[in-house]
Amino acid sequence: MDEAQHLRNDALEDLRLLTNYETGSENWLCLLFVGLTQLRRCVHMSVHELLDQRIVLHYHLSALARGRISEHVIYLLRVADCNLPWFAPATVKEISHAKQAMPHEVNRMAHYALLAGHA
């Protein structure tokens, strides 16, 4: 479930209830929650303690090191099958000042830079 930080409390509770069903040693439902930091804070609240207990693996993607942002932007371009140098070094430097250099913020800033360049 992408953007899971937007799920309401009642929806999270419903999902927890769905994970209760098992047949023998098999679970009927396996969920993968993907979301921003707000999701982690929400799941750790006492109202969602039972859901939090069911989560087998937590992973928090931390901010990119300033020196790795250029590599990240180049990687994103390669994934898009583009080997052209779309960003000037000064642009990458500005992108690196994105909020805490979180990957989703870096991606958003690069996207907006491409749109501005196109316009």
Inside any domain, residue 59: no
Q: Are residues 79 and 113 both part of a single domain?
A: yes
Q: Are residues 14 and 45 both part of a single domain?
A: yes
Inside any domain, residue 32: yes
Kindly give the confidence (pLDDT) of every residue in the chain, 119 residues in length, as a single tens digit, with 9 standing for 90 and above: 889 999 999 999 998 888 877 666 777 778 888 888 889 999 999 999 999 988 888 888 888 887 888 888 888 888 889 888 788 888 888 887 766 788 888 888 888 888 888 88
Number of domains forming the structure of the chain: 2
7 contact partners, CB below 8 Å, separation of at least 6: 1, 15, 39
| Helix/strand/coil (H/E/C) assignment for every residue in 15-71 | HHHHCCCEECCEECCCCCCCCCHHHHHHHCCHHHHHHHHHCCCCCCCCCCCHHHHHH
Q: Are residues 46 and 90 both part of a single domain?
A: no
89 is in which domain, residue-wise?
Answer: 66-118
Phi, psi of 51 (to 5 degrees): -65, -45
Inside any domain, residue 60: no
Inside any domain, residue 14: yes
Inside any domain, residue 61: no
